[in-house]
Amino acid sequence: MARTLGSVGEKTFEAIRAAGTRLIWRHGFEAMSLRRLAAEVGVQPGSLYNHFETKQALLFDIVRSHMETLTTRLDEALVGHVAPRDRLIAFAAFHSSYHMTRRMQVYVANSELRSLDPENRAAVVDLRRAYERRLEEILRAGRDAGLFRVDDLKITTFALISMMTGICEWYRPEGRLSEAELVRLHVDMVLRAVGA
Amino acid sequence: MARTLGSVGEKTFEAIRAAGTRLIWRHGFEAMSLRRLAAEVGVQPGSLYNHFETKQALLFDIVRSHMETLTTRLDEALVGHVAPRDRLIAFAAFHSSYHMTRRMQVYVANSELRSLDPENRAAVVDLRRAYERRLEEILRAGRDAGLFRVDDLKITTFALISMMTGICEWYRPEGRLSEAELVRLHVDMVLRAVGA
Amino acid sequence: MARTLGSVGEKTFEAIRAAGTRLIWRHGFEAMSLRRLAAEVGVQPGSLYNHFETKQALLFDIVRSHMETLTTRLDEALVGHVAPRDRLIAFAAFHSSYHMTRRMQVYVANSELRSLDPENRAAVVDLRRAYERRLEEILRAGRDAGLFRVDDLKITTFALISMMTGICEWYRPEGRLSEAELVRLHVDMVLRAVGA
Amino acid sequence: MARTLGSVGEKTFEAIRAAGTRLIWRHGFEAMSLRRLAAEVGVQPGSLYNHFETKQALLFDIVRSHMETLTTRLDEALVGHVAPRDRLIAFAAFHSSYHMTRRMQVYVANSELRSLDPENRAAVVDLRRAYERRLEEILRAGRDAGLFRVDDLKITTFALISMMTGICEWYRPEGRLSEAELVRLHVDMVLRAVGA
DNA sequence: TATGAATGAGGGTTCATTCAT
DNA sequence: GATGAATGAACCCTCATTCAT
C-alpha cells in the first residue's frame, strides 16, 4: 500500500457527498449535473469516478448512509426509555430534531427513492421499514397497555412520521422559533394525536 | 391557457396534461423527456408546441390548475359548515380524501415547486398560502373559542397538512382500508391533535 | 404526411452512410468519432440521430446493405452461365472486380464483423455464408463433373475468396495495371488453383 | 525495448504483451482500453507505464517484434532449400503453418497497420516488404527457370500471401482438419496457382 | 395542426496519461 | 515497481426547442 488510507481521496469523497447532497436537495437527483458537482468540489468531472462508479451509486451511498445513521441515532436516543409514553416522547423529540438539523439528507432520502434503481430502492425501503417499525412497536406497546388511542397501527405510524418529517420542508435555522420550541410543539401534537 | 376551449386540439391538450402529470409523478419534472411525453400522447415531439409554449409552461399549467381546483373544491366542501369543529372535520375529510384520489397531481404540485420559474413559483406559493390560510383560520377560530388546543398556529397548520398529505406517498386504491375508513382515521387524528 | 418521401432527410442519410463508410475504412469503427462524421456531413452531432438510432445501427446498416448488394450483383453476374468453368470465371471476374471498385465497403464489411453486436453479426454472417455458398456450389459442380481439382470444398472456397478479397488492401485506381488486367490475372490464378 | 532483459519486471512486460495482443485481436487497438489491459494483467492502469511509454509504443512493440520473428523463422524454414519449387513449398508450408499457430499476432500485425504512427508504420511496412520479397524472389527464380507460370510478379505475390493469410480468419485449433492437412491443402493450391 | 429534420448545449461516462507517494 | 488520484479531452447520446413544409 503506497498510500495512507484515509488521506487525500477520502477527503475528496466526503466533499463529493456533501456537495452532492446539497445539489440533489436543491435541484433533484436527475437535475443535478455531475459537471456542476465536480465544479463545486473543485475537480474535473472525470475525477469523480475515482470515488464512485456511477451517479446512481453516489445517490445510493448518500441515501443508504443517511438511513443507517438515522436508525443508529434513533436507537441511541431510545436507550434508557422504557415506558411507552417515554419512548414515544424520545422518538418524537429525536425525529423532529434530527429532521431539522439534517433536512437536506432527509429530503433527499425521502424524495429520491424514485430515482434509485429497483435493487437499491429495495435496500433503502428495508431500512425505512426498520425505522418505522420502531415507532410502530412503541405505538403497539402503548395501545396494548391502554395508554394510547391508536385506531390503526400502520396508518398512525405513517401519519405521525409524515407530520414530523414535514418540518424539513419549511424549517429555517434563523426562523421565528428555536429548535427546542419546535421539538416541544411537535412532541405535544404527537402525544395528543394518540391521546397520551 | 393557450388554447380555446372546445377546439379540436383540446382533447390532445388534455391528453398531454394527463400524460405529463403521470410522467412527472413517476420521474420528476427534469427527468421527464418531452420525447417520451410525445410518444405517450401519440404525436411527434415538435407537435407538443402547438399546445404549450415551453416545458416550463406545461408544468406551471398543471400545478396552477391543480391548486385552483383544490382551493375551489375545498371551499365547496366547507360550505354550510360554521362551527370550528365542523369546519375542521370538513377540511380534514376533504383534504385527506382529495389527496387519495389525486395523488399524482398532489405529488407533482408539492414536489416540483422547485422546478418552477421564480415567477411561476411565486404564483403557486400564493395559491398554497391561500389554501393553508383556510386551515389556519379554522384553527384560530377554534382556539379563540376555547375549543382547540393550538400552541402555535403556523406550526400546527403545517403539521396537520403534512400529516394528511403524507397519504399520497403510500396510498394504493387496492389497499387494505377503504377510502372512507382512511378518511375517518385521519379526521380523528387531526381532531385529537388539537384536543378537539 | 407533411414531407415528401425521399427528400431532404434521405439525402442526408446517404451522405452519412458514404462518409461513415469512408471514415470506418480509414480509422476503424471504434476509432470513428460521430463528431467527425457529423462534421464531414455538415451537421451537428446530435442531428445524426434523426437518421440512425445508434452508432452500432449505422454500422449494421452499412455492412448489411453492402452484403445484400454484393449477393444480388453476384447473382446477376452469374445469370446465363451454366458450365462450371464459365460460372467460376464469372464468379472470379465479378468478385475481383467488385472488390476493386468498392474496396471501402468491402474492407468495412470484412474487418468490422467484430464490432457488430452478436445479433447483428449473426445476420451478417448468414449473408456471408450465402455468398460463399455460391462459390462452393460452383466448385462442387466442377469437381463432380471431373473438371476441377478440389481437395476440400470449404478450404478451397475460403482460399479463393481470400486470394481475391486481398485485392482491396492494396488496389489503387491509379495503379500500374488496369482493372481489366487485374481481373484477368486473378481469374487465371483461380482457374489454375483448381486445375481448370 | 525500454526494459532490460531478465529484470524483475520482464515477466510483467511479457504478460502485458500477451494480454495486449489478445485484446487488440478481439477489440481492435483503439477499442482496447488500458484499464482493461491493466485489469487482465492484474495491475493498476498507472503501473503499465513502468513497462511502456505510450499505448502506441506498445502496439509498435507487438507488431514489430512479430514481424521480426516472422521473417527470422521464415529464413530458418528456407535454409537448405535451393530449387525454386522446394523453396516455394517451404515458404507456403511455413506461412500457412505460422498463420495458424499465431493467428492473433498475425491479425494484429495485418489489421492495425493503420493505427501505427506514420514513422512506426513505415518501419513495419519495410519489414513486411522484406518478407514479401522473399516470396517474390522465389517466384521470379521459378518463372525465369521456366518452372512457374507467373503473369505478374507483384500481383501473384500478393495473391498467394492473401490466400494463405486468410487462414487466420477462420482457423480454429479444434476444427475438422489437422494443421498438417491444412498446410498440405494450401501448399497444393499455391503450387497449382503458379502451375508448378 | 402535425411532421421530420435540424440546432446547440449539455448529459453521464471513459479515455490515455501523469505523478506524488 | 506499484499505487491511487488527478487531468483534460473526448466519447456516444439525449435534451428542449425551432421551423420549413
CA-nearest of A89, A49, A100 to A190 is A89
For residues D72 and D146, membership in a common domain is answered with yes
Please list, in sequence order, all residues whose beta carbon lies within 8 angstroms of the beta carbon of residue B15, skipping any fewer than 6 positions away.
B41, B42
- C1' (F1) to CA (C28) span, angstroms: 35
pLDDT at D140: 98
Q: Cβ–Cβ of C195/D192 closer than 8 Å?
A: yes
Q: What is the mean pLDDT of residues D92-111?
A: 95
pLDDT at D5: 43
Query: How far is it, in rounded angstroms, from Cα D111 to Cα D28?
Result: 8
B98-128 burial, b at 16+ Cβ within 10 Å, e below that, comes to bbbebbbbbbbbbbbeebbeeebbebbeebb
Q: How many residues does chain C have?
A: 196
B11 or C35, which is more confident? Answer: C35
For residues C66 and C133, membership in a common domain is answered with yes
For residues D129 and D86, membership in a common domain is answered with yes
Instruction: Grade residue B11 by pLDDT with cuts at 50, 70 and 90.
Output: confident
What does B80-130 look like in DSSP terms, one character per residue?
T--SHHHHHHHHHHHHHHHHHHTHHHHHHHHH-GGGS-HHHHHHHHHHHHH
Cell numbers placing C20: 461513415
- Out of A37, A52, A67, a domain closes at A52
pLDDT at B7: 56
Res C2 pLDDT > 50: no
| B186 close contact with A: CB closer than 8 A | yes
Assess whether chains C and D touch, using the rule of 3 or more C-beta pairs within 8 angstroms.
yes
Res B6 pLDDT > 60: no
Res A103 pLDDT > 80: yes
Helices and strands per DSSP (H, E), number in chain C: 9, 0
Interface test with A, best of B36, B96, B128, B162 (most A CBs within 10 A): B162
B171–chain A nearest CA distance, Å: 10
Q: Cβ–Cβ of B186/A31 closer than 8 Å?
A: no
B37-59 burial, b at 16+ Cβ within 10 Å, e below that, comes to bbeebebeeeebeebbeebeebb
Query: How far is it, in rounded angstroms, from Cα A52 to Cα A12?
Result: 11
Number of CB atoms found within 10 A of residue A182's CB: 21
For residues C3 and C68, membership in a common domain is answered with no
In order of D23, D91, D193, the CA distances from D157 in angstroms are 30, 12, 11
pLDDT at A148: 98
Nucleotide nearest to A30 (CA to C1'): E11
For residues D59 and D44, membership in a common domain is answered with no
For residues A63 and A39, membership in a common domain is answered with no
Q: Cβ–Cβ of C155/D182 closer than 8 Å?
A: yes
Alpha-carbon dihedral of residues A19, A22, A25, A31, nearest 10 degrees?
-40
Place of cell 465497403: C105
Res C129 pLDDT > 50: yes
Q: What is the pLDDT of residues A5-14, one digit of tens each?
A: 456 778 899 9
| D162 close contact with C: CB closer than 8 A | yes
Query: How far is it, in rounded angstroms, from Cα C145 to Cα C138?
Result: 11
Cell numbers placing B8: 379540436
| A185 close contact with B: CB closer than 8 A | yes
In the three-class reduction of DSSP (H, G, I as helix; E, B as strand; rest coil), residue D81 is classed as coil
Strand E, CB < 7 A, residues 157-186 of D: none
Question: How many Cβ contacts (< 8 angstroms) between chains A and B?
Answer: 101
Residue B167 CA to its chain's centroid (Å) = 12
Query: How far is it, in rounded angstroms, from Cα C42 to Cα C19?
Result: 11
Q: Which residues of C touch D192 (CB under 8 A)?
A: 149, 192-195
* Torsion sign, CA atoms C10, C15, C16, C22: positive
Side-chain-side CA neighbours of A146 within 13 Å: the count stands at 0
Cell numbers placing A67: 438511513
Res C150 pLDDT > 60: yes
C12–chain D nearest CA distance, Å: 28
Helix, strand, coil shares, percent, chain C, to 5: 75, 0, 25
pLDDT at A2: 42
| B117 close contact with A: CB closer than 8 A | no
Q: Which residues of D touch C28 (CB under 8 A)?
A: 28-31, 114-115
pTM of the model: 0.90
Q: N- to C-terminal Cα distance for chain B?
A: 43
Instruction: Grade residue D1 by pLDDT with cuts at 50, 70 and 90.
Output: very low
For residues B92 and B173, membership in a common domain is answered with yes
pLDDT at D7: 57
- Strand F nucleotides, any atom under 7 Å from protein beta carbons: they are 1-21
Nucleotide nearest to A2 (CA to C1'): F3
Angle at D71 between CA D66 and CA D75, to 5 degrees: 145
In order of C107, C113, D104, the CA distances from D165 in angstroms are 15, 17, 12
What does B19-82 look like in DSSP terms, one character per residue?
HHHHHHHHH-TTT--HHHHHHHHTS-GGGGGGT-S-HHHHHHHHHHHHHHHHHHHHHHHHTT--
Residues 30-59 of D with CB under 8 A from C: 30-31
Number of domains in chain C: 2
Query: How far is it, in rounded angstroms, from Cα D43 to Cα D32?
Result: 16
What does D113-181 look like in DSSP terms, one character per residue?
GGGS-HHHHHHHHHHHHHHHHHHHHHHHHHHHTT-S--S-HHHHHHHHHHHHHTHHHH--TTSSS-HHH
Q: What is the pLDDT of residues A121-177, one digit of tens each?
A: 999 999 999 999 999 999 999 999 999 999 999 999 999 999 999 999 999 999 999
pLDDT at D11: 85
Res C165 pLDDT > 80: yes
Res D4 pLDDT > 90: no
Contact assessment for residue D16 and residue D52, using Cβ atoms and an 8 Å cutoff:
yes
Query: How far is it, in rounded angstroms, from Cα C91 to Cα C97?
Result: 10
Q: Which residue type sits at B71?
A: T
Query: How far is it, in rounded angstroms, from Cα B73 to Cα B98?
Result: 9
Interface test with A, best of B155, B165, B177 (most A CBs within 10 A): B155
pLDDT at B12: 87
For residues D156 and D86, membership in a common domain is answered with yes
Domain with residue C114: its CATH number is 1.10.357.10
C188–chain D nearest CA distance, Å: 8
CA-nearest of A93, A114, A103 to A160 is A93
For residues C47 and C59, membership in a common domain is answered with no
Using CB atoms, list chains with 3+ pairs below 8 Å to chain D. C
Range of A45's domain?
Answer: 1-52
Res B1 pLDDT > 50: no
In order of B113, B175, C32, C62, D31, the CA distances from C27 in angstroms are 50, 60, 6, 15, 11
Res C5 pLDDT > 80: no
| C153 close contact with D: CB closer than 8 A | no
For residues D81 and D9, membership in a common domain is answered with no
pLDDT at B10: 79
| C186 close contact with D: CB closer than 8 A | yes
Q: What is the DSSP code (8-state) at residue D49?
A: G
Res A1 pLDDT > 80: no
Query: How far is it, in rounded angstroms, from Cα B45 to Cα A196?
Result: 57
Report long-range pairs for D113-120 (Cβ below 8 Å, ≥24 apart). Answer: D113/D63, D114/C26, D114/C27, D114/C28, D115/C28, D115/C31, D115/D28, D115/D29, D115/D30, D115/D56, D115/D59, D116/D56, D116/D59, D116/D60, D116/D63, D117/D56, D117/D60, D120/D56, D120/D59, D120/D60, D120/D63, D120/D64
Domain with residue A45: its CATH number is 1.10.10.60
For residues B47 and B124, membership in a common domain is answered with no
In order of C1, C2, C32, C35, the CA distances from C11 in angstroms are 18, 17, 21, 19
Q: Cβ–Cβ of B28/A115 closer than 8 Å?
A: yes
Q: What is the pLDDT of residues B75-117, one digit of tens each?
A: 999 999 999 999 999 999 999 999 999 999 999 999 999 999 9
CA-nearest of A63, A85, A32 to A196 is A85
Query: How far is it, in rounded angstroms, from Cα D113 to Cα C107?
Result: 14
Q: What is the mean pLDDT of residues D27-49?
A: 94
Q: What is the pLDDT of residues C13-54, one digit of tens each?
A: 999 999 999 999 999 999 999 999 999 999 999 999 999 999
CA-nearest of A126, A188, A127, A193 to A157 is A193
Contact assessment for residue D24 and residue D112, using Cβ atoms and an 8 Å cutoff:
yes
Q: Which residue type sits at D54?
A: T
Question: How many Cβ contacts (< 8 angstroms) between chains C and D?
Answer: 101
Query: How far is it, in rounded angstroms, from Cα A67 to Cα D52?
Result: 47
Q: Cβ–Cβ of B169/A162 closer than 8 Å?
A: yes
Query: How far is it, in rounded angstroms, from Cα A11 to Cα A4?
Result: 12
- On the 0-12 / 13-18 / 19+ scale of CB atoms within 10 A, C109 is buried
For residues A48 and A85, membership in a common domain is answered with no
Q: What is the pLDDT of residues A41-96, one digit of tens each?
A: 999 999 999 999 999 999 999 999 999 999 999 999 999 999 999 999 999 999 99
Answer yes or no: is A168 CB < 7 A from strand E: no
CA-nearest of B127, B123, B74 to B97 is B74
Q: In whole numbers, what is the pLDDT of chain C averaged over residues?
A: 94
Q: What is the mean pLDDT of residues B31-46?
A: 94
Strand E, CB < 7 A, residues 23-42 of A: 32-36
Q: Which residue type sits at B79?
A: V
Res C72 pLDDT > 60: yes
